[in-house]
Structure 1
């Protein structure tokens, strides 16, 4: 069983599981969004006493916290017990593009030049992560949700604002990949 679970699965398996989860959420009248956990945690810690945005019935959405814990726990279990030692398979074109920017071929999920303790210790790495985190936090709040909330839950509910947000996410990703990264790392 462990051998079956630890093998790479086809892409369409995750699509089917996401569709099943969305059907269940729609059936129970709930919506999905990972960034809403930040609001729930802040409300649970008492931020609603000072900021009206956090004053809501967070206990009704506490199931989302279980999803958060399950995601972290599932990632840890996969790393500790299901990793087969293979290097992540990345397109050769992607590896070549990364090498043009000065990055080595990733041996894990992210380039070590960006996501390591050494990178965090450098001024450029620290500023990049700080500004990126602030932009993501601001963007998530301004857009009324994160990529998973809009792309999965919002589009499943046929919400027009979610379609606009997802188009914006893709445009932002393209601009970052083809304009911002070459400016910062060449």
Structure 2
């Protein structure tokens, strides 16, 4: 497929998210991908292994629509809304990325130095995915939700714990990219 439509501008997508959040809050629902994954695990029988998954998942079936929407939305965004042009990065960012080993910085959202199959399936790539997955899973459970749940639902409903969690997510991201990432790559 080729590039058919332009990505939605902020003044369409931003208010659309706000309307969805208003409707979810109005109907007493919350949004977060970790809730959806918990529902999927409970449907699959994870309640036999952990009390965390022992809940009335049938009341959360509506969450599965969010998962389906994310998959369909990702497909549509990639094949119909992706702009094939280069990413507009500053000269300083390109220099920094070149120093870290990224040869064609700005040519792709998924640089091959990280996302090419030979790199992902290497010992280093699999180790990073496993350790990162465990840390994200632990952090999501420890924080009582994921980044999307806290940053979109929690902040929309003015929850202080969500504000603290989002600040923590950003601090963790800054530590990762400025301290840990240069060591790994």
- TM-score (structure 1 length as normaliser): 0.88
Contact 2:7 2:82 in 1 (8 A): no
> 2: CA distance between counterparts of 1:102 and 1:117?
17
Change in Cα spacing, 1:6 to 1:139, as seen in structure 2 (3 Å) is same
Correspondence for 2:167: 167
Contact 1:106 1:112 in 2 (8 A): no
> 1: CA distance between counterparts of 2:183 and 2:50?
39
1:141 deviates by: 1.0
Within 5 Å, give how 1:144-183 maps onto structure 2: 144-183=144-183
Change in Cα spacing, 1:84 to 1:179, as seen in structure 2 (3 Å) is closer
Change in Cα spacing, 1:89 to 1:67, as seen in structure 2 (3 Å) is farther
Contact 1:32 1:149 in 2 (8 A): yes
Change in Cα spacing, 1:84 to 1:152, as seen in structure 2 (3 Å) is closer
Correspondence for 2:50: 51
> 1: CA distance between counterparts of 2:86 and 2:94?
13
1:91 deviates by: 4.0
Structure 1: tracts of 5 or more residues without a match: none
Instruction: Number of aligned residue pairs: give it.
Output: 183
1:106 deviates by: 4.3
> 2: CA distance between counterparts of 1:101 and 1:6?
34
Deviations 1:158-183 (A, max 9, x none): 21211111110010011111111122
1:54 deviates by: 0.9
Q: Which moved more, 1:48-57 or 1:76-85?
A: 76-85
> 2: CA distance between counterparts of 1:79 and 1:71?
12
1:110 aligns with 2:110: yes
1:184 aligns with 2:184: yes
Contact 2:7 2:81 in 1 (8 A): no
> Would you identify which runs of 4 or more consecutive aligned residues in structure 1 move more than 4 Å?
none
Correspondence for 1:30: 29
Correspondence for 2:40: 41
Structure 2: tracts of 5 or more residues without a match: none
1:153 deviates by: 0.5
